[in-house]
A and B are shown apart, each in its own frame.
Chain A
């Protein structure tokens, strides 16, 4: 179980823990809820690999900032004056 899921898990109330003692059940609950609301979701075999990876928590802002800086640099390079590649 990853950090994100662990944090969620730890936050569950005793009641919830007694009824949901496996992350698998949590995914089932999500699937059931989505079905009730007619909200299409991935199949469980796919969902279980992606539901527990909140990129807002697992990727530090420094890394996104650096990547964004590179993209910005390339954009500036594209728009700047100067010779174009032959």
Chain B
């Protein structure tokens, strides 16, 4: 059974009591009064002639708009009609879509309605779906891989390459002669030290026929493995002459050389204290890539010092910055960085095994590739360590200020609450918006989320009992002080593997999604959402606004599934079949985004996600309804419903009812055996939920029979007649599946 059949929120399709009272047929005159005669006549005529829908559906839609405060003018009704005609499914589902759209204040255009309908009713956009939609992806990877092979061949490291490249070109639609000519272009480009990207661009100009041209353009983009490194460097070293030289570099190797020049020529390098310099010389003399990378990083990570030094060679360098970097290198992550080389070797070995790319072994084993990965990870670790240090120091300072202020002059509850709110906000920002939690283990992430809950508790408590709140604040101070940044090897491995895949042109959004799913935690879920592109537009806006005079380049933004689909859709105009498939996938993603629109003026906020999870890509639907808290969701008062299409136990629903942090959980399934297997495992979940601030109460297992038609009887595990308690009132089982009343 598919999850969309099971997770059928039909209850929502039923008009509310108030709506039913108004559910009389809509007189034609009523429609006439709301729009121009012409459009009304068109609408009426359409309704009359429609074979796919009853006129009453459109009339019901009209009422739904009115009940939700939307003026159902002719334009809206025409769009609605287009939607009703276009999408498949029953009228009930369509009306539900209309109600959801109207209740969230979303413009009921055909596109928006279709998107929301797709999100609610269609299968999630899985990585498999994407690969089916875009067979080009694999072909693009094949081209990049084949070019790499030719490159290896020319360097004398590989034997058979050109033949495979020729065959790849032929499979992409080129004639034999054309394929031979294309191979010549590649070989010539490689002989002239052109980058893969440049070669692909030449090819796309020389063979401008679709779909090859489009594929080559995509391949050109995919092959740019150093794009992200450039972004990081640009952030670290803005507006320097040397940087622009580095950016002029077109190939991986020239970029490395340009960077090395930049590092070596910058005055900061030569102004280092004698001891530091000596230490680096010793390190370098050992020929260690780590030391080399660390040497580079010592300079590049000292952001403003480098910029100052480069801009004014005569200025003295602030040694404190260098010392602080040396300090943390020796304190926290140094041992971790020391083990990087071994980790890199392991990741490369694993990547070769995963892709069966034994012929790429030579390419991988080059010192440049290793150095690249080591540098990437070192830079990233330093960046996140700095994020952590900044938070820790500012949070401690903030709390100390509050405590010391209270000693001299008693502060009132309201003031305390406000002061703590700032720290809580910073912590949440660090957890959700920075990369820190991408590289820490689950335990550390839980500690941070737990601290966030403590700080929020202090905010509430301060208004009731300032003494207790201050006591708790001291405890939080101790906890923050005791925090130590520890990168998680597992998560860093994921990052390195992605980078390694980029080197061979295998890294795609789909592999990024797969890898992210394997890590777990709040940040994992957020990253998965980001990889799918469900946060694409807000991040573009943020990027635009975060730059002075809005001069940031939007296209530097990290690729995600949605941005990739949008690009492909705009490039695939000549292939209607592909465009249609892309539109469908895009519609599904956009629909989820629309359903996640937050409405500051409303009491309740909702979230809806539909995504693939697990190794076999089981579909998961997440639905959250929460009290409005400052225009966002309230984790202390909400209802969450997770529907999973389990391979072993069939469709399974897990419902969390949370009120003032007290949490009740219900597991609803058709399976006879789920309870036996799951019950012992729920203890860990409850313990984890407690760690992050929830107060777990009880877990119930409810079973339903799949055969019964109509309202189903819920039975508890003890076979006692089950009286639906408050927590389950809204989760009735009817027809094919659960009905979730909003």
What is the interface of chain A, defined by CB distance below 8 A to chain B? 1-4, 8, 11-13, 16, 26, 29-30, 33-34, 37, 39-43, 45-78, 80, 82-86
Q: Does B310 contact A (CB under 8 A)?
A: no
The segment from B24-32, B50-58, B638-646 that touches chain A is B638-646
A84→B673 CA distance, assembly (Å): 6
CB contact list, B534-593 vs A, under 8 A: 534-535, 537-542, 544-545, 548-550, 553-555, 563, 566-567, 569-570, 590, 593
A3→B433 CA distance, assembly (Å): 16
CB distance from A22 to the nearest CB of B (A): 14
The segment from B104-112, B197-205, B486-494 that touches chain A is B104-112
A46 touches B590 (CB 8 A): yes
A60→B626 CA distance, assembly (Å): 11
Q: Which residue of the partner chain B has the closest CB to A81?
A: B677
Residues of A within 8 A of B652 (CB): 74
Residues of B within 8 A of A40 (CB): 566-567, 569-570
A49 touches B112 (CB 8 A): yes
List 15 extra interface pairs beyond A69-B689, A77-B646, CB under 8 A: A3-B632, A8-B545, A11-B545, A16-B550, A37-B553, A41-B540, A50-B538, A56-B535, A62-B453, A62-B692, A70-B640, A72-B685, A73-B678, A80-B681, A85-B669
Residues of A within 8 A of B650 (CB): 85
A60→B446 CA distance, assembly (Å): 13
Q: Which of B111, B539, B544, B647 contacts A78 (CB 8 A)?
A: B647
A61 touches B632 (CB 8 A): no
CB distance from A70 to the nearest CB of B (A): 5
Q: Does B322 contact A (CB under 8 A)?
A: no
Given known contacts A73-B678, A74-B652, A50 and B590 CB-to-CB distance under 8 angstroms: yes
A72→B449 CA distance, assembly (Å): 17
Q: Which residue of the partner chain B has the closest CB to A37?
A: B555
A54 touches B428 (CB 8 A): no
Q: Which residue of the partner chain B has the closest CB to A1?
A: B600
Q: Which of B112, B522, B554 contacts A61 (CB 8 A)?
A: B522
A45→B597 CA distance, assembly (Å): 13
Q: Does B452 contact A (CB under 8 A)?
A: yes
A51 touches B541 (CB 8 A): yes
A82→B692 CA distance, assembly (Å): 30
Residues of B within 8 A of A78 (CB): 614, 618, 646-648
B554 touches A34 (CB 8 A): yes
Cross-chain pairs A/B with CB under 8 angstroms, 21 sampled = A8-B542, A16-B550, A26-B541, A26-B545, A29-B544, A29-B550, A37-B553, A40-B567, A41-B537, A49-B112, A49-B594, A50-B593, A60-B632, A65-B446, A68-B520, A70-B640, A72-B520, A73-B682, A78-B618, A83-B676, A86-B672
The segment from B141-149, B410-418, B524-532, B714-722 that touches chain A is B524-532
B685 touches A69 (CB 8 A): yes
A2→B597 CA distance, assembly (Å): 10
CB distance from B220 to the nearest CB of A (A): 14
CB distance from B549 to the nearest CB of A (A): 8
Q: Which of A26, A69, A85 contacts B648 (CB 8 A)?
A: A85
Given known contacts A37-B554, A71-B613, A74-B646, A61 and B677 CB-to-CB distance under 8 angstroms: no
Q: How many residues of chain B have a CB within 8 Å of chain A?
A: 99
B607 touches A59 (CB 8 A): yes
Given known contacts A60-B632, A73-B678, A39 and B555 CB-to-CB distance under 8 angstroms: yes
Q: Which of B111, B526, B537, B630 contacts A3 (CB 8 A)?
A: B630
A43 touches B640 (CB 8 A): no
B452 touches A61 (CB 8 A): yes
A41 touches B566 (CB 8 A): yes
A76→B648 CA distance, assembly (Å): 12
A55→B538 CA distance, assembly (Å): 8
A85 touches B545 (CB 8 A): no
Given known contacts A46-B112, A77-B681, A85-B671, A67 and B622 CB-to-CB distance under 8 angstroms: yes
Residues of B within 8 A of A54 (CB): 535, 538-539, 542
B554 touches A60 (CB 8 A): no
Given known contacts A68-B525, A85-B650, A53 and B640 CB-to-CB distance under 8 angstroms: no
CB distance from B566 to the nearest CB of A (A): 4
B673 touches A56 (CB 8 A): no
Given known contacts A46-B109, A51-B541, A74-B646, A85 and B674 CB-to-CB distance under 8 angstroms: yes
CB contact list, B612-653 vs A, under 8 A: 613-614, 618, 620, 622, 624, 626, 630-635, 638, 640, 642, 644, 646-650, 652
Residues of A within 8 A of B669 (CB): 85
CB distance from A46 to the nearest CB of B (A): 6
A66 touches B566 (CB 8 A): no
A65 touches B449 (CB 8 A): yes
A34 touches B590 (CB 8 A): no
Q: Does B432 contact A (CB under 8 A)?
A: yes
Q: Which residue of the partner chain A has the closest CB to B669?
A: A85
Q: Which residue of the partner chain B has the closest CB to A34?
A: B554
A68→B654 CA distance, assembly (Å): 12
A33 touches B544 (CB 8 A): yes
CB contact list, B20-78 vs A, under 8 A: none
Given known contacts A8-B541, A66-B656, A45 and B107 CB-to-CB distance under 8 angstroms: yes
A58 touches B632 (CB 8 A): yes
User: What does the 1/0 interface line of B498-517 toward A look like (CB < 8 Å)?
Assistant: 00000000000000000000
Q: Which residue of the partner chain A has the closest CB to B658?
A: A66
Q: Which residue of the partner chain A has the closest CB to B600?
A: A2
Residues of A within 8 A of B539 (CB): 54
A58→B538 CA distance, assembly (Å): 11
A50 touches B648 (CB 8 A): no
Residues of B within 8 A of A72 (CB): 520, 685
A56→B673 CA distance, assembly (Å): 37
Q: Considering the complex of A and B, which 10 residue pairs feature the smallest CB-CB distances, nearest first?
A: A85-B671, A64-B522, A54-B538, A62-B635, A65-B522, A58-B632, A83-B673, A82-B677, A40-B566, A3-B631
A48→B631 CA distance, assembly (Å): 17
Residues of B within 8 A of A1 (CB): 600
A57 touches B648 (CB 8 A): no
A56→B448 CA distance, assembly (Å): 15
Given known contacts A2-B600, A29-B550, A41-B537, A60 and B647 CB-to-CB distance under 8 angstroms: no
A53 touches B566 (CB 8 A): no
Residues of A within 8 A of B252 (CB): none
